[in-house]
C-alpha cells in the first residue's frame, strides 16, 4: 500500500513538473539605460569644433566667418567634444560627429543627425545615433535615438536637450543631452 502511494506521488510530481515546464516563459526584462552628457558646440574660438559648409547668405556675416547657422538653409558639420559635466574642464568621454541643418524658415530650428562616439567612461567603444529636430528657442527639445553600436546594439530611445550655456554673439553653446534608451 505504501509502495503504491509512493509510485502515485512520484507520477504526480512528474506530471506537475512537466506541466510547469510547458508554461510560456516570461519575456526577458527590457533594459533601460539613462545617461546625461554635455556637448560643446563652438563655431568660434581657438577650440571651435563646428563649421558651416553651405548656406543661402554670403558667408561673412557672423563671428565664425562662415555661413550663419542661425539662417534657414545653413548646413554645419560638427565634431564636438562630449563631456561628463557642463564645464570645459569636465572629462571628455566622446565626440558628437555629424551635421546640423537649419531647417526652419524663421531660422529658429535645426535638424540634427550625428553620432555620439564614446571614447571614455563606461561606454567607451560604443556609439549612439541621434536624429531629430532642435527648435532651440524652446527650453526643452525632445529628439530621437534611432540606434547604436557596441553596448548600445539594438537600442531605441529618446533624448531631451537643454541649453546649459549660450553665447549667441560668438555662436558658442553647451548642450545638455539627457538620453534614455531601451534595449530588447
Ligand atoms: C533625465 O530625464 C528623465 C526623464 O526622461 C528624468 O526623469 C531625469 O530626472 C532627467 N535627468 C536629468 C539629470 O536631467
154 compared with 18, residue with greater pLDDT: 154
Q: Which atom of ligand 1 is nearest to the CA of 34?
A: 1
Q: Which residue minimizes the CA distance to atom 3 of ligand 1? A: 178
Mean pLDDT estimate for the chain:
90
**Average of pLDDT values for 39-44?**
96
CB atoms within 10 A of CB 60: 10
* Cα 38 to ligand 1 centre (Å): 14
pTM above 0.75, yes or no: yes
CATH number at residue 134: 2.40.480.10
In a domain, 50, yes or no: yes
Model confidence pLDDT, tens digit, residues 127-167: 999 999 999 999 999 999 999 999 999 999 999 999 999 99
In a domain, 14, yes or no: no
In a domain, 18, yes or no: no
Q: How far apart are CA 74 and CA 40, in angstroms?
A: 19
Structural domain count of the chain: 1
Task: For residue 42, give the nearest of 177, 174, 176 by alpha carbon.
Answer: 174
Using the structure block, give the residue that is written with the C-alpha cell 532642435.
134
Q: Is pLDDT of 19 > 80?
A: no
List the grid coordinates of 85: 559635466
Residue 85 belongs to domain spanning:
27-183
In a domain, 89, yes or no: yes
Cβ(178) – ligand 1 distance below 6 Å:
yes
For residue 14, give the H/E element and its range. Answer: helix 2-22
Amino acid at each position: 500500500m505504501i509502495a503504491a502511494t509512493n509510485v502515485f506521488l512520484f507520477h504526480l510530481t512528474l506530471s506537475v513538473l512537466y506541466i510547469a515546464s510547458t508554461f510560456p516563459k516570461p519575456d526577458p526584462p527590457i533594459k533601460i539605460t539613462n545617461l546625461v552628457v554635455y556637448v560643446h558646440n563652438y563655431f568660434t574660438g581657438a577650440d571651435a569644433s563646428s563649421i558651416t559648409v553651405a548656406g543661402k547668405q554670403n558667408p561673412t556675416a557672423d563671428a565664425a566667418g562662415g555661413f550663419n547657422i542661425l539662417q534657414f538653409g545653413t548646413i554645419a558639420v560638427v565634431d564636438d567634444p562630449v563631456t561628463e559635466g557642463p564645464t570645459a574642464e569636465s572629462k571628455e568621454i566622446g565626440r558628437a560627429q555629424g551635421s546640423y541643418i537649419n531647417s526652419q524658415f524663421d531660422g529658429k530650428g535645426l535638424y540634427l543627425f550625428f553620432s555620439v562616439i564614446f571614447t571614455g567612461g563606461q561606454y567607451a567603444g560604443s556609439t549612439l545615433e541621434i536624429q531629430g529636430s532642435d527648435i532651440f528657442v524652446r527650453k526643452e527639445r525632445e529628439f530621437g535615438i534611432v540606434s547604436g553600436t557596441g553596448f548600445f546594439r539594438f537600442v531605441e530611445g529618446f533624448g531631451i536637450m537643454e541649453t546649459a550655456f549660450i553665447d549667441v554673439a560668438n555662436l558658442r553653446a553647451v548642450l545638455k543631452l539627457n538620453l534614455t534608451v531601451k534595449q530588447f
